Amino acid sequence: MPEEKEKKMIDIYVMGRRYKVPEGLTIMTALEYAGYKYVRGCGCRGGFCGACSTVFRNKDDYKLKMDLACQTAVEDGMFLVQLPFVPSVRTMYEVDEIEPEKDDNLLLEHYPEIARCVSCNTCTKACPQDIEVMDYVQASLRGDIDRAASLSFDCIQCGLCSIRCPADIKHYHLAQEARRIKGKYIDTHSEQLKERVKELDGCVYDERMKELVKMSKEEIKIVYDKREFKKGE
């Protein structure tokens, strides 16, 4: 507590209401310091789940900015609004019924709005993962599903790209379909993966998992450091 008192206190505004919080906190921890309890919009706390999308404006700056609450530090005079869910429309399809080898314009057919892309690159600038969003949209337009999937591999489905897009493109849903198609139809299927799935279905690791759950954090670290790798892994 003594250290906390020494920290500089700054003003933030949550849904228009002012709160004083210590400088240096992330938006997420600042909201919790102010008394907000996360029911939705908080997952991994490490920038991987995309659940803590935030819209904010800094003091004396007219621009609206967007980022993840777990990755962004609060600033004095910051105005905040949380967006735990982006209500964009996703095209419905059955991945098992798709025939990408017969349809080069599959992604364009499912998401025709990508033809409205004006290459403004706003989507890329909005991405907290620094993904080249516009590039995978253009790859989708060309029918290059493999490249679209590869470029969007790190997408966490936060939806900030779609919120900012003037053409109303559903980038992250488009990318998800590209990755699903690539995984099912383009990538080489792993025989090791098939064997592992069969082992999981047969509950081969159930007893071992029970043992691991009972271990302490330090014991888990020791097991992890001493793990053995099969040849080729």
Mean pLDDT score of the chain: 90
Q: Which CATH superfamily is domain 2-82 in?
A: Beta-grasp domain (3.10.20.30)
CA distance 110 to 138: 15
The CA-atom distances, in angstroms, between 154 and each of 26, 48, 58, 149, 176 are 22, 9, 28, 10, 11
pLDDT single digits (tens) 70-86: 999 999 999 998 887 88
What local confidence, expressed as pLDDT, does residue 47 receive? 80
> What are the residue boundaries of the structural domains of the chain, listed by start?
2-82, 95-186, 191-225
Mean pLDDT of 60-78: 92
pLDDT in tens, 147-168: 999 999 999 999 999 998 999 9
Q: Is the pTM of this model over 0.85?
A: no
- Main-chain dihedrals φ then ψ at residue 38, nearest 5 degrees: -75, 120
Distances (CA, A) of 223 to 199, 207, 232: 21, 16, 21
The CATH classification of domain 95-186, taken from the options 1.10.1060.10, 1.10.3470.10, 3.40.50.720, 3.90.950.10: 1.10.1060.10
Residue 1 is predicted with a pLDDT of 45
pLDDT score, position 214: 94
Res 145 pLDDT > 80: yes
Higher pLDDT, 157 or 39: 157
Model confidence pLDDT, tens digit, residues 179-212: 999 999 999 888 888 899 999 999 999 999 999 9
Residue 170 has pLDDT above 50, yes or no: yes
Q: What is the DSSP string of 61-119?
A: ----EEEETTT-B--TTEEEEE-S----------GGG--GGG-TTHHHHH-GGGGG---
- Which run of H or E residues covers position 53? strand 53-57
Does residue 125 carry a pLDDT above 50? yes
More confident residue, 190 or 171: 171
